[in-house]
Amino acid sequence: MTQDLPLPFGAIDTHFHLFGPARDFPYAPGRDYTPADATVEDYIALARRLGFSRSVIIQPSVYGTDNSRTLSALEDRPMPMRGIVVVDRSVSHAELERMHGLGVRGIRINLLFGAGAGWDTARHLAPKLREMGWHIQFLVDVSTIADLRRRVMELAVPTVFDHLGHVPVSRGLKDPGFEALLALLKDDLCWVKLSGTYRITGETTAPYRDVAPFARALMQANPDHVVWATDWPHPAIRVPMPDDAVLARMTLDWTADAEMRQKLFVTNAERLYGFDRLPREAPQ
């Protein structure tokens, strides 16, 4: 753990990606971007530098439903990991069971980038996911969904929203979509990742101070259903590449409350992803 970045012991990064090499893990046709390689070794070095010890690898849109890159990392398991995959309607129960054994705990529905699945796929797969005890993670701008509550309710499985709901801060805290997200959160009907701040900010460099009111509103709505993530290696962004230590420090600055930090960085994610609980303090 870096001396100037006091993350709680056992901190969990709930959202990162791996990319390439393309010769081993080819990208899907129809993708919206082609990323640079981001290796397991690079990620582990980041984890050690920042001070988190567990993580959740997220299937990115550029691989479509080919989860080979994600599952390979879970098989190697260089640190305690869980995974989120992308599947289509034809996925078999046996394949879901195999992935569960590797540490997969949910599927991702990507409504912002190509090569993803949609709401219809989420509805179709919901009964299988319910049986598995998995959740659905959405990458969607909630300000564009007029009937967000109804859509979440009809799924009847735990629902997670990436990147603070992906609402551009220019729309303001009173945006109907963001207010709907807050209402779902207050009623324990969803979870939200406090991540990807550079995707919704109106600023160009971190710390993105215009995002802080949104993050604090989400934490206040339900401190037990928010989690933290790096979103490393920050693919397809339109601002200068941020420093992950600065992003983590920015998150710490959102709250000085030790109990809230413990929930945000550790215990909430332990519950959501089924990580074994660790002692509250590092061994001496």
Backbone dihedral angles phi then psi of residue 96, each to the nearest 5 degrees: -60, -40
Q: What value does the mean pLDDT take over residues 261-281?
A: 88
Q: Which two tokens stand for residue 207?
A: 């710390």
Active site residue 187: no
Q: Which two tokens stand for residue 1?
A: 């753990």
Q: Are 56 and 13 in contact (CB under 8 A)?
A: yes
HEC string of 118-150 equals: CHHHHHHHHHHHHHHCCEEEEECCHHHCCCHHH
Q: Are 166 and 139 in contact (CB under 8 A)?
A: yes
Q: What value does the mean pLDDT take over residues 24-47?
A: 94
Domain map (residue ranges) of the chain = 12-272
Q: Which two tokens stand for residue 115?
A: 């090569």
Q: Which two tokens stand for residue 206?
A: 């971190």
pLDDT, position 137: 97
Find residue 227's DSSP bridge partners.
193
**Average pLDDT of the chain, as a whole number:** 93
The more confident residue out of 48 and 5 is: 48
pLDDT in tens, 36-51: 999 999 999 999 999 9
Confidence grade of residue 281 (pLDDT, cut at 50, 70, 90): low
Give the whole-number percent of the chain exceeding pLDDT 70: 95
Q: Which two tokens stand for residue 252?
A: 């710490």
Confidence grade of residue 284 (pLDDT, cut at 50, 70, 90): very low
Strand (E) positions, the chain?
A: 12-16, 54-58, 81-85, 104-110, 135-139, 159-161, 191-194, 226-228
Confidence grade of residue 30 (pLDDT, cut at 50, 70, 90): confident
Contacts of 257 (CB under 8 A, 6+ apart): none
The DSSP secondary-structure symbol of 265 reads I
Confidence grade of residue 279 (pLDDT, cut at 50, 70, 90): low
Q: Are 15 and 60 in contact (CB under 8 A)?
A: no
Q: How far apart are CA 2 and CA 46, in angstroms?
A: 11
pLDDT in tens, 71-124: 999 999 889 999 999 999 999 999 999 999 999 999 999 887 544 458 889 999
pLDDT in tens, 234-254: 999 999 999 999 999 999 999
Q: Are 213 and 182 in contact (CB under 8 A)?
A: no
Marked catalytic residue, from 13, 141, 162, 231: 231
User: Would you say domain 12-272 falls under CATH 3.40.640.10?
Assistant: no
By DSSP bridging, strand 54-58 and strand 81-85 are parallel
Q: Tokens 């805290």: give the residue.
A: 173
pLDDT in tens, 128-162: 999 999 999 999 999 999 899 999 999 999 999 99
Q: In which element (H, E) is residue 258 found?
A: helix 258-262
